[in-house]
């Protein structure tokens, strides 16, 4: 299969990165990619869905990834996976012998091994330019579930209509479930049994880079996990802090110990991001060195600086994100810089996942969340038209239309965009420029 045909399949079937910002996968196909990497680092604590999926569908995923490699002309196909995922590694070793260009890139159990810039360095030794894209050094990185979605599109004619979501922490039965796109977070959480805490807070995504959500919001193509947490949990309290208060606390107590910079994964790869200098400049309103502020563009928002490194409990990541957003809003772009050489000390400044979970009071939640792909009956879905980076898809259905699961309901817009599909059989009950609501007959009768 050539790259043009594969690109069309990906775009029409709505395939985007199944996590993070949801970058349209077809746009990653590039003949300059001499290396492609499958990311099975399971970056965030408590998440298991990628290793579970890859273990169960090792043959299908490796074969599809091999085909992607052939389409772009990649010379090397690497599966980045942590050494601790022994069951998944065993499943892969039974498969990859048939593919000479495929090899495993074994990773330590550290955070953030799944950050693509860190992952690329760990398995290839290449450093992505600060602010640059992986393709600049001949690399493209793909998510495990994304590649499985490519397999389904090519072999089962199934577009992206559902999503694997891990429901963990304060629930009766932690589980990884497959739910239709547009299912509410609340309905998804119910599949893990009863909540085991009063006034639960739904933390969407991983504990390091996720955000507090509501039970009524819909599952999208990038929803990887829901952590059900008590209101008083450290992570919830930190997320609810006001940046104005964070700045005042930093002015009063930042001692310039440099720990945030010393453990910053991007700084360790030579990127000019120095959180401690930013904290000093921001709190003192010192603009003599503007590059300190411009370099916030190179922060990957992994959260280590504020959730692990800082003994004062300050919030460099949050404050840098606010400054970075302000710079972008004013049309300022990242400076063009080169990375400094990677120092030997990097190997001794990696953060063990076990220690990170202990620091965040998450160890007690580190339990099995078995993969359950049973069909989930849903009466109503709210499908967002923008679930990816780029232009939102354009709705092509109207109120009253009867649609079938897998039917395109929004076509790709001009520019970077992908199609959106019905995730259940039903009738369109509402259409806007932001979403489409579909209800089953039972759902409409229950109104």
CA 347 from centre of chain: 25
Which is it for strands 175-180 and 201-204: parallel, antiparallel or unpaired?
unpaired
For residues 104 and 83, membership in a common domain is answered with: yes
For residues 253 and 265, membership in a common domain is answered with: yes
> How far is residue 265 from each of residues 83, 298, 340, measured CA to CA in Å?
20, 11, 13
For residues 170 and 139, membership in a common domain is answered with: no
Please tell me the distance from the alpha carbon of residue 316 to that of residue 327, in angstroms, as a whole number. 16
Which is it for strands 371-372 and 175-180: parallel, antiparallel or unpaired?
parallel
CATH number for the domain that contains residue 390: 2.40.50
Query: End of a domain among 359, 393, 414?
Result: 359
For residues 109 and 167, membership in a common domain is answered with: no
CATH number for the domain that contains residue 41: 3.40.50.11540
pLDDT at 207 > cutoff 90: yes
* Count of structural domains within the chain: 4
CATH number for the domain that contains residue 176: 3.10.20.600
Which band of pLDDT confidence, cut at 50, 70 and 90, is reported for residue 162?
very high
Closest CA to 159 of 14, 22, 61: 14
For residues 58 and 101, membership in a common domain is answered with: yes
CA 316-319-324 angle, to 5 degrees, is 115
> What's the confidence (pLDDT) of residue 285?
87
Phi-psi bin for 123: left (phi > 0), alpha (psi -120 to 50), beta? alpha
Count of residues making up the chain = 447
For residues 126 and 30, membership in a common domain is answered with: yes
For residues 211 and 267, membership in a common domain is answered with: no
Which band of pLDDT confidence, cut at 50, 70 and 90, is reported for residue 447?
low
> What's the confidence (pLDDT) of residue 192?
97
For residues 152 and 166, membership in a common domain is answered with: no
Dihedral of alpha carbons 217, 218, 223, 226, sign: positive
For residues 198 and 339, membership in a common domain is answered with: no
pLDDT at 8 > cutoff 90: yes
Tell me what the mean pLDDT of segment 348-376 comes to.
Answer: 96
pLDDT at 317 > cutoff 70: yes
Residue pLDDT, tens place only, 417-430: 999 999 999 999 99
> What's the confidence (pLDDT) of residue 443?
66
Neighbours of 249 (CB within 10 A): 16
Tell me what the mean pLDDT of segment 117-143 comes to.
Answer: 96
Phi-psi bin for 331: left (phi > 0), alpha (psi -120 to 50), beta? left
Which band of pLDDT confidence, cut at 50, 70 and 90, is reported for residue 442?
confident
Beta pairing partners, 79: 38, 104
Residue 54's SS3 state is: helix
Q: What is the mean pLDDT of the chain?
A: 95
Q: At what angle do helices 58-72 and 144-156 cross, to 10 degrees?
A: 90
Which band of pLDDT confidence, cut at 50, 70 and 90, is reported for residue 252?
very high
Neighbours of 253 (CB within 10 A): 13
For residues 250 and 310, membership in a common domain is answered with: yes
For residues 247 and 217, membership in a common domain is answered with: no
For residues 269 and 173, membership in a common domain is answered with: no
* Those residues with Cβ within 8 angstroms of residue 353's Cβ, 6 or more apart along the chain or in another chain: 45, 109, 110, 111
Tell me what the mean pLDDT of segment 108-124 comes to.
Answer: 96
For the CA atoms of 47, 203, 229, 41, what is the dihedral angle to 10 degrees? 10
Residue pLDDT, tens place only, 49-87: 999 999 999 999 999 999 999 999 999 999 999 999 999
Which band of pLDDT confidence, cut at 50, 70 and 90, is reported for residue 1?
confident
Please tell me the distance from the alpha carbon of residue 443 to that of residue 199, in angstroms, as a whole number. 27
> What's the confidence (pLDDT) of residue 444?
65
CB-based contacts of 64-67 (< 8 A; 24+ apart in sequence): 64/147, 64/148, 64/150, 64/151, 64/154, 65/36, 65/38, 65/102, 65/142, 65/147, 66/99, 66/101, 66/102, 67/1, 67/6, 67/154
Range of the domain at 146: 3-156
| 122 neighbors 268 (Cβ within 8 angstroms) | no
């Amino acid at each position: 299969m050539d790259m043009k045909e594969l690109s069309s399949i990906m775009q029409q079937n709505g395939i985007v990165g199944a996590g993070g910002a949801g970058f349209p996968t077809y746009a990653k196909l590039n003949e300059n990619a001499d290396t492609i990497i499958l990311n099975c680092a399971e970056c965030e604590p408590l998440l298991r869905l990628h290793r579970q999926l890859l273990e169960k569908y090792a043959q299908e995923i490796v074969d599809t990834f091999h085909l992607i490699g052939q389409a772009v002309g990649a010379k090397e196909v690497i599966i980045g996976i942590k050494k601790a995922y022994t069951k998944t590694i065993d499943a892969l070793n039974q498969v990859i012998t048939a593919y000479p260009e495929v090899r495993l890139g074994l990773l330590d159990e550290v955070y953030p091994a799944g950050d693509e810039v860190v992952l690329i360095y760990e398995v290839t030794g290449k450093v992505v330019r600060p602010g640059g894209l992986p393709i600049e050094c001949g690399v493209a990185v793909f998510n495990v579930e994304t590649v499985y979605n490519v397999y389904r599109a090519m072999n089962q004619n199934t577009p992206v209509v559902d999503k694997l979501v891990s429901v963990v922490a304060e629930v009766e039965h932690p589980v990884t479930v497959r739910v239709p796109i547009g299912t509410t977070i609340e309905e998804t959480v119910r599949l893990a049994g009863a909540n085991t805490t009063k006034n639960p807070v739904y933390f969407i995504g991983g504990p390091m880079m996720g955000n507090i959500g509501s039970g009524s919001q819909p599952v999208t193509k990038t929803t990887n996990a829901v952590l059900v947490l008590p209101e008083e949990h450290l992570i919830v309290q930190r997320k609810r802090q006001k940046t104005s208060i964070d700045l005042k606390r930093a002015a009063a107590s930042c001692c310039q110990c440099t720990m945030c910079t010393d453990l910053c994964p991007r700084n360790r790869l030579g990127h000019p991001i120095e959180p401690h200098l930013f904290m000093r400049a921001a709190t003192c309103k010192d603009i003599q060195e503007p590059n300190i502020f411009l370099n916030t563009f190179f922060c990957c928002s992994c959260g280590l600086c504020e959730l692990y490194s800082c003994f004062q409990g300050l919030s460099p990541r949050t404050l840098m994100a606010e400054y970075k957003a302000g710079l972008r809003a004013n049309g300022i772009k990242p400076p063009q810089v080169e990375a400094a050489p990677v120092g030997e000390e990097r190997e001794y400044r990696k953060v063990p996942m076990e220690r990170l979970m202990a620091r965040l009071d998450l160890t007690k939640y580190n339990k099995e969340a078995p993969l359950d792909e049973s069909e989930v009956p849903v009466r109503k879905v709210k499908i967002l038209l923008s679930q990816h980076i780029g232009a939102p898809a354009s709705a092509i259905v109207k109120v009253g239309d009867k649609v079938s699961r897998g039917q395109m309901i929004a076509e790709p817009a001009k520019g970077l965009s992908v199609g959106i599909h019905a995730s259940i059989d039903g009738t369109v009950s509402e259409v806007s420029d932001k979403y489409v609501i579909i209800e089953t007959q039972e759902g409409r009768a229950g109104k």
